[in-house]
Amino acid sequence: MHELGVVFHMVDLLEDIGRERNLERIGKVVVELGEVSGVVTDLFADAWLWASDRNDLLRGAELEIHEIEAATLCNACGHTYPTTQHGRICPRCQSPDTVLLQGNEMNIREIEAF
């Protein structure tokens, strides 16, 4: 389960931010997860509960997850389409010359702290 490793990295980053800004506690973290990021949302949330409960800065902090839909651009015809429905082949022209525009991100979008 690599979700725990991702959460550990996020906790390290939040601790760094907490030290830089002299935060006593973080109450909420809003995260964006790409639809094709490879992170399983439920496992990520479970890992967050486990890790945040063991950290003074994050204990009891709420985790809010927003999913970013995956979108792909076809370089051959310029069509943008939903990645998970059609994969890497453009549904309009059948070209494999495509690029993922969004959907593999993992971003900390917002932190509520005091």
pTM comes to 0.87
State which CATH number among 3.50.50.60, 3.30.2320.80, 3.30.2080.10, 1.10.3720.10 fits the domain covering 3-69+102-113.
Answer: 3.30.2320.80
Average pLDDT over the chain reads: 97
How confident is the model over 11-37, as pLDDT tens digits?
Answer: 999 999 999 999 999 999 999 999 999
Examine the pLDDT at 1 and tell me if it is beyond 90: no
Per domain, the residue ranges of the chain are: 3-69+102-113
CB < 8 Å & 24+ apart, contacts of 44-48: 44/3, 44/6, 44/7, 46/3, 47/1, 47/3, 47/4, 47/6, 47/7, 48/7, 48/10
How confident is the model over 51-75, as pLDDT tens digits?
Answer: 999 999 999 999 999 999 999 999 9
